[in-house]
């Protein structure tokens, strides 16, 4: 096993010996047999792999602003009843309503 000094994210620590490090390791060094029998993550956990592929990361330049707003329960229920994407549909309806109000001045 690699020395403690070579463990990523861990520097030398005089309080712990290599034996201490080995005793608490729950990820032992792989053997040649381990590598030969290894299978791809997506093959072993297909549902989890698919979920990871579909997840979005943070936006580079967020264009939406998180807000807290109180709405009638019936309005929220009506949008939720339309299924996934209800928040986007609600945003679209609000965008159309805002356009009818006229141009919005921005503060600089």
The answer to whether residue 8 sits within a structural domain is: yes
Q: Is the pLDDT of residue 105 over 80?
A: no
Report if residue 30 sits inside a domain: yes
pLDDT tens, residue by residue, 38-80:
999 999 999 988 888 776 677 777 778 889 999 999 999 999 9
Mean pLDDT, residues 97-102:
90
Q: Cα separation of 28 and 21, whole Å?
A: 11
- Domain coverage including residue 57: 4-101
**For the chain, how many structural domains are there in total?**
1
Examine residue 17 and state whether it is found in any structural domain, yes or no.
yes
- Round to whole Å and give the CA distance between 44 and 38: 10
Residue 108 is assigned to a structural domain of this protein: no
Residue 107 maps to a domain:
no
């Amino acid at each position: 096993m690699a020395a403690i000094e070579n463990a990523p994210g861990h520097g030398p620590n005089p309080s712990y010996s290599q034996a201490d490090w080995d005793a608490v390791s729950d990820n032992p060094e792989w053997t040649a047999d381990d590598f030969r029998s290894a299978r791809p993550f997506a093959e072993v956990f297909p549902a989890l792999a698919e979920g990871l592929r579909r997840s979005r990361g943070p936006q580079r330049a967020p264009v939406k602003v998180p807000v807290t707003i109180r709405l009638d329960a019936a309005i929220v229920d009506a949008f939720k009843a339309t299924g996934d994407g209800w928040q986007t549909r609600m945003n679209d309806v609000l965008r159309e309503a805002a356009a009818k109000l006229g141009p919005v001045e921005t503060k600089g």
